[in-house]
Chain A
Amino acid sequence: MSEIILDMNINGENISIQVPSNMRLIDILRVKLRLTGVKEGCGEGECGACTIIMNGKAVNSCLVLGIQADNATIITVEGLAKNGEMDILQQKFIEYGAIQCGFCTPGMLMSAKALLMHNPKPSKEEIREAIAGNLCRCTGYTPITKAIEAAVKV
């Protein structure tokens, strides 16, 4: 397999990395960069566990080829906390019990973060829409939407 060199800004850091040309972004993040907060739940873009923010948009990293992320700015769940302080979304997820098994959490947080980056005061409906592509089997979404609403109010 031929290899390519990708330049990316990941969680605020510029990197250059050589990867097989057919490598998915999720594998680059998880395997090459050990950003294992990015989760794989289906590999088909149906569950949202692998959601990251690429160039300001929430995307399923299992559906992105590495080459498509060349020169991209990427945020993963590992990049949410700043200077040791958790993002308000992370804080509210914890406060509202929005995390049970936690496997959907990183993707859920990134979908919510992407929403707030563009729309700091979303409505309840906009919040639900923003996470509609992220499946959660534990919480029934109720504490998750409450947590995001609470983060909006801060």
Chain B
Amino acid sequence: MKKIVCADNYVGFLCAVHAYFTGGNGTNSGHENESGTPNGNTRALANVEKTIVNEKHDRNFLDEYVFAPEDVETARTVRRGLENKGGKEFYCDFADGYRSGNPNKEEILLNYLKLFTKHGRAAFSMYDRAEVVAFGDIVRKVRGEAHLLCGFVRFMETASGVYYGFFSADNDILEILTRDFVHRFNAQSFVLHDYKRQKIAVWDGQSLEYLPVESGVEIELSDCERVFQSIWKQYHKNVSIKERANPRLQRQFCPKKYRHFMHEF
């Protein structure tokens, strides 16, 4: 089987998609199809069996591997093509699907694209097809986790007045969360730290920046921070009705894996 190897980032993946559907094999950057998108007429479905794998995947001796080089322009072309053919909502779903922590996300996204290539927009509602179910699952997981963490992330006030929050998540949702927090804390400077993926988002009330962080972040808390944390903990405890204690239900909605960054636990 021919495996198109993509870099471990979204641009790299889109370039591999381009190579897959245009027949580009990585030796050129693949501009031959102007629309840059899958459609039924390309050389895409030529007889050779192909797939896309992440560069981090283990390789074997049997398959043929070709690297699809990263190229922002090619990625943009693919994006435009997907938006034009599938609509903005489809593209958003697709892009959010790539944020998934599922190790097979490249394959799942590719399979969905193949179905789309064949059936056009009708593919979106083929809810009984395995490709659609798998795609729906990863997108829902990404968005579901982002929605949960949008409530679960805790910020702390630092001595400098900037708020700092950290989290770790199964999916790469820093950007989704930051979008939400910029909206909600528009007038408040904050730093949001995804420590599993070692990157931070910095919002200073005007502009936004994403930065990699190699090591831990040192912060000095403001004087009143501890007071608020203690009132919050007490509130969390008191508002529960003792007679109806139900830790199983609590776990179901607030999984333990997130609790280490929630001050009340």
Instruction: Decide if A and B are genuine partners.
Output: no
Q: Which residues of A contact B (CB under 8 A)?
A: none
